[in-house]
Amino acid sequence: MNSLQHGIQEVQGSTHDAQRYVNALGPRGVIGVMTPGPNVNVENEMMDMRPAGVINAVDRYYVPNQRIAQDEDWSIIMRNVTAHLDDSVRRLKEALIDHLVLGMSSQSYMGGERGSFALQAHLEQLSGVPVTMGAQSAEQAFRLCGARRIALLTPYYPVIEQNAVSYFSARGFEVVHVEGLKCKSIIHVASQTYQELAEATLRCHAARPDAILQLGTNLAYAQVANDAEKWLRLPVFASGPVIYWSALRKMGIQDRMTGFGSLMEFH
């Protein structure tokens, strides 16, 4: 991780009170959600999934709305994430959060299996609370439904997808198809329509996977995944809802709700 963090400047005399109190609006827990500034969808999805008595404290760390035309552009995005992630944790830590969520799936796959678990350990050490990320949440979902052959739907270029394939291969899964949409910017990711995402899902399904996973929390995929499970009679997982579901269950919160897929409705 980059130790040169420039986003936080404290005035002299600042203190950090660690005394915990029960939050009046969030007596069941406060979830810190980190997400890149241009990710406009994941914040709202996770707010819609928030059970009564739970607070989402959201930090939007700086990442430019990079113009994307090649692998290197995604690499620049990821370097920006690395440069600002620690400051995001520090800001959320001041809310005395109970759990930390990385609301960006791509970073959770960088470096494959080894890089992913190293990042999780780093964030847990820095925040002092349990951390939920996309890679481990998706793995949890696949194991729950017994899937081994999986298909990935992403907004990315191959430089990111290769890391996700590496992670899942190391964890014992066979990636039978990667449907990369090669979006033109981070905001372009958020503009993908229901119809476009449904068609991409069908292309994934043609590879005959046991389950489909969408990566890229800025894709508005929750409703598509919820519906596609009914069309295809197959587990179809949206990254944002999978991450939030996993975080809630780790916190011992078992509330179920409809509209966000089989995980939130039945598990």
pLDDT tens for the chain, residues 1 to 267: 444 446 678 888 988 898 999 999 999 999 999 999 999 999 999 999 999 999 999 999 999 999 999 999 989 999 999 999 999 999 999 999 999 999 999 999 999 999 999 999 999 999 999 999 999 999 999 999 999 999 999 999 999 999 999 999 999 999 999 999 999 999 999 999 999 999 999 999 999 999 999 999 999 999 999 999 999 999 999 999 999 999 999 999 999 999 999 999 999
pTM of the prediction? 0.94
228-241: burial string, b at 16+ Cβ within 10 Å, e else = bbeebebbbbbbbb
Confirm whether 13 is domain-assigned.
no
Same domain, 118 and 214: no
In a domain, 266, yes or no: no
**Whether 106 and 45 share a structural domain:** yes
CATH number at residue 156: 3.40.50.1860
For residue 22, is it within any domain? no
Is the domain of 69 the same as that of 143? no
Task: Answer yes or no: is 24 within a domain.
Answer: no
Please, are residues 190 and 153 in contact by the beta-carbon 8 Å criterion?
no
Does one domain contain both 168 and 200? yes
Residue 16 lies in a domain: no
Domain assignment present for 51: yes
How many Cα neighbours within 13 Å face the side chain of 229?
22
* 160 and 79 within one domain: no
Nearest-angstrom CA–CA distance, 245 and 264: 6
Same structural domain, 195 and 149: yes
Asked if residue 115 and residue 63 are part of one domain, the reply reads yes
Q: Are residues 34 and 124 in the same domain?
A: yes
234 in the same domain as 168: yes
Count how many domains the chain has.
2
CATH number of 99's domain: 3.40.50.12500
Q: What is the domain extent for residue 47?
A: 29-133+242-256
CA distances to 117, 129, 180, 229, 230 from 225, in Å: 27, 30, 17, 6, 9
Q: Residue 12 has what pLDDT? A: 87
Instruction: Look up residue 78 and give its amino acid.
Output: M
Interstrand relation of 236-238 and 211-214 (parallel, antiparallel or unpaired)? parallel
Is 213 inside any structural domain?
Answer: yes
CA–CA distances in Å: residue 15 to residues 10, 32, 54, 67, 94 = 9, 20, 26, 40, 10
Are 128 and 165 in a shared domain?
no
Claim to verify: residue 231 and residue 249 sit in the same structural domain = no
Q: Are residues 112 and 207 in the same domain?
A: no
> Could you tell me if residue 9 is inside a domain?
no
